[in-house]
Chain A
């Protein structure tokens, strides 16, 4: 298992290969399509992170010192970014998730997608992922 830092570095390298926004967006769309589905029983309003425009469902499970996140979104571009966040944080231990600096977001040019004004639920999603981590770290 790679560390959060290592995974971020890989993602930055992946995105550096894209020549234009079209390639970048197509990659995000592919990631969105490939995201492992969330168990339907977790796609409930309690797990819904409300954005103004797109919605995100997030579920977290804690086992053997690691948090496994599963998620979904009704918009495919949002889902692509959700997939990246899961790639970075899922399978890590709670204290690392809680203190993780997600620098890659700026580096790969997705800052605007993760600004509160976008209202796509992603800012709240990161916050919720970290809140789960803080809660689970108290169980450690």
Chain B
């Protein structure tokens, strides 16, 4: 059993007031709060370790480089990657996807196909639209069913020898559906297509093992897993990363530069041009340590308990409709109250200290699919409690009374 009050005590922001009320932070799908060890790691880096990485021979440069590379090791272990150099530091999931999309277009010919799903976040839609536009390939979309799951039969029919890449989310940010990525990867590989998984909503909620999962690319963000903003990971299989052309160019990513031609650095540096977010990368290690100490499986179990409780309490309110009712769900609940606009609900509960997200959640195609302007979204994390869910439910009831 997790000691949730002990976990909460490690997050200073959770004891602050909002609009005179105790903060109830239920917007973890957007970003999570940070434990003291992550905050300390950032500040300790600047107070004691700051220097540029992979450059100097002096003591501090060596120290900063060691810390930076220690993070890479930790992440490699955390996601079960085969090689350390398969871990590329980026700015975030969006950056990771753009990196792949930008390089992958050079592999594509007219008539080739990329498959995404209707469930994707805009950051896993737009880069592929641009990629297809620039390479003359076609974008195919897997529709979603009423319960928020992908229409797998439709997907199997879409797959063909023209399919070159399948890019889907592990967990839908707007609906919470945990997608059957194992099956998607297996079927995609059977026609020779590569697979990119957007793991932004999954990385601290589901135990990951890249060698077992067999995804070709896996992307996630530090800030959604108790780490700093501006740090993301692109995991890619060694051979594909080697084949992929560089994304951004400049310092660090080169082997030799001359005006007759430049050779690129080996992995991972080939994709890490310029000075990276060193403090963020270093502090990300502390976030991973925090998660590992709690154990992902225990986190998932506790979040499942919160999800079940919040769902059943919410459904007691008359007129609630939940979008995303798959059996396999992460602790994300997207809903509307009959006749009420999500924005109005969000405005009122905010005054009661409740931080929830309202709107289209950067996934407009899903909103269109359900013919709604948006939803109210509760997204839970390991530091949330049933008491907080009660406060949130009461605030929603109050909003309903005020708005009806």
Contact = CB atoms under 8 A, between A and B. Distances in A.
Contacts of A52: 359-360
Contacts of B402: 22, 25-26, 29
B359 A76 contact: no
Given A22-B402, A29-B403, A55-B373, A75 B351 contact: no
Interface in B314-348: 340-344, 346-348
B343 to A, nearest CB: 4
A77 interface: yes
A21 B399 CA distance: 12
Contacts of A21: 19, 351
Given A22-B402, A26-B402, A29-B402, A74 B348 contact: no
B174 to A, nearest CB: 14
Interface residues of B, number: 17
B374 interface: yes
Given A26-B402, A29-B402, A54 B351 contact: no
A74 B346 CA distance: 14
A92 interface: no
Contacts of A93: none
A8 interface: no
A52 B19 CA distance: 24
B344 A76 contact: yes
Contacts, number: 43
Interface residues of A, number: 17
A120 B340 CA distance: 16
Nearest to A78: B343
Contacts of A54: 341, 343, 373
Nearest to A113: B347
B358 interface: yes
B288 to A, nearest CB: 32
B335 to A, nearest CB: 16
A136 B341 CA distance: 34
Interface in B12-30: 19
Interface string B1-42: 000000000000000000100000000000000000000000
